[in-house]
Amino acid sequence: MTDTLAAYSLLLAYSAMAVYAIAFVMYVLDLSRRTGTAEAAAVARTPASTTAAAGARGGTALLERVGTITSRVAESQSRSVNKATRFQRTAFALTIVAAVVHLGAIVLRGLAADRGPWANMYEFSLTGTGIIVVVFVVINLWRDVKFLGAYITGFVVLLLGLAVTNFYVAVTPTPPPLQSYWLYIHISVAMLATGFYAVGGGLSIVQLLQSAREKGRLAKWRFLQTFPSSASLEVMASRLIIVGFAFWTFTLMAGAIWAYHAWGRYWGWDTKEVWTFIIWVVFAGYIHARATRGWRGTRSAWLAIIGLAAVLFNFTIVNLFFQGLHAYSGLTTS
């Protein structure tokens, strides 16, 4: 029964990957469509201004009327730039479908293991990517950040593909130190924090691109005209990162308590503990710098991206190449 449930879980994981990949293509087509719409709006504004200038120089009433009509057309096209395209609506619907299939894979893996499905690298990848997508979908109830869809689905397809091809292991008994209710508390909150960090980091990446466009660079990336301003992106990113930081702080504290119950000490300078603390310091520095030093714009965005890179390093390199008490990847013996 265990092997059967695990096999169905893996099948659903592959299915979710396929749907995410289709959604990714739809999001890219949406960006392409927005590029064309932005170019059309830019072209439409040019004759409007030219015609209006001709009218100001004493042109005929017909020219003035044509200028008014052209101006209205330009305004209508400009408003349409920011509307959701059918590609984006389709992509977001597919993202939700994929998330449901993904959730099924997580549940079946948990049933197969008879525990929380995050005791090794494969399970953590499976569940963590699912949480990232859920966070992304829920955030859209607060702010429309569907323009991050290509980033989120591409990121998830990459991590899920890495998990099923390189990290997959059969269901095994839980190691003694993990046989604790802290497995559910500590790890689940860490993954939730990672979800907020991932979306916040994506907003920071877009912020850098938008800032470059606003300064006259990346002028050919016209789809950025349909995104919020760099200032708005920074505000959204900072709020999500603050939420992620709160969850990460709890993760650090819960990990120390769990370490005391498992190994008889709160802190032991284990590699995983050190990198968890480094991530906390980076994002604490991000929040502190914005609050007291007035770090705004590109500097704060780079700090957020460095923090996200540290999270990914902690999950991949530290788990795969460093030995320690937290060596539970399932790929090597501890």
Q: What is the pLDDT of residues 278-297, one digit of tens each?
A: 999 999 999 998 888 777 88
Are residues 249 and 202 in contact, defined by beta-carbon separation less than 8 angstroms?
A: no
- Tally of domains within the chain: 2
Q: What is the pLDDT of residues 42-87, one digit of tens each?
A: 444 444 444 444 444 555 555 445 444 443 443 344 344 456 789 9
User: Does residue 97 sit in the same domain as residue 214?
Assistant: no
Residue 226: domain span: 175-334
Last residue within a domain, chosen from 171, 199, 228 = 171
Average pLDDT of the residues in 215-242 = 91
pLDDT band at 268 (very low <50, low <70, confident <90, very high): confident
DSSP 296: -
Alpha-helix runs per DSSP H in 141-270:
149-162, 182-214, 230-263
User: Does residue 128 sit in the same domain as residue 199?
Assistant: no
User: Does residue 256 sit in the same domain as residue 272?
Assistant: yes
User: Does residue 52 sit in the same domain as residue 121?
Assistant: yes
What is the pLDDT at residue 325?
Answer: 59
User: Does residue 41 sit in the same domain as residue 5?
Assistant: yes
Cα(35)–Cα(16) distance, integer angstroms? 29
38/177: higher pLDDT: 177
pLDDT band at 260 (very low <50, low <70, confident <90, very high): confident
Are residues 39 and 23 in contact, defined by beta-carbon separation less than 8 angstroms?
A: no
User: Does residue 132 sit in the same domain as residue 275?
Assistant: no
Supply the pTM of this predicted model. 0.83
Shortest CA distance to 111 belongs to which of 8, 223, 219?
8
Last residue within a domain, chosen from 120, 147, 171 = 171
Residue 75 three-state SS: helix
Average pLDDT of the residues in 32-50 = 56
Average pLDDT of the residues in 23-46 = 72
CB atoms within 10 A of CB 24: 24
User: Does residue 65 sit in the same domain as residue 28?
Assistant: yes
Cα(136)–Cα(200) distance, integer angstroms? 10
User: Does residue 127 sit in the same domain as residue 215?
Assistant: no
Shortest CA distance to 274 belongs to which of 241, 334, 323, 314?
314
What is the pLDDT at residue 62?
Answer: 52
User: Does residue 206 sit in the same domain as residue 78?
Assistant: no
Tokens representing 150 are 């290509």
Last residue within a domain, chosen from 130, 150, 171 = 171
DSSP 58: T
User: Does residue 106 sit in the same domain as residue 203?
Assistant: no
Per mean pLDDT, which range of 108-112, 143-147, 288-292 is the poorest?
Answer: 288-292
What is the pLDDT at residue 333?
Answer: 42
Residue 160 three-state SS: helix
Average pLDDT of the residues in 157-179 = 85
Mean pLDDT of the chain: 83
Q: How far is CA 32 from CA 25, 147, 158, 237, 250, in A?
A: 11, 12, 22, 24, 41
Residue 317 has pLDDT above 80, yes or no: yes
What is the pLDDT at residue 49?
Answer: 47
Average pLDDT of the residues in 160-167 = 92
User: Does residue 30 sit in the same domain as residue 132?
Assistant: yes
Residue 115 has pLDDT above 50, yes or no: yes
CB atoms within 10 A of CB 306: 16
50/214: higher pLDDT: 214
CB atoms within 10 A of CB 279: 26
User: Does residue 86 sit in the same domain as residue 16?
Assistant: yes
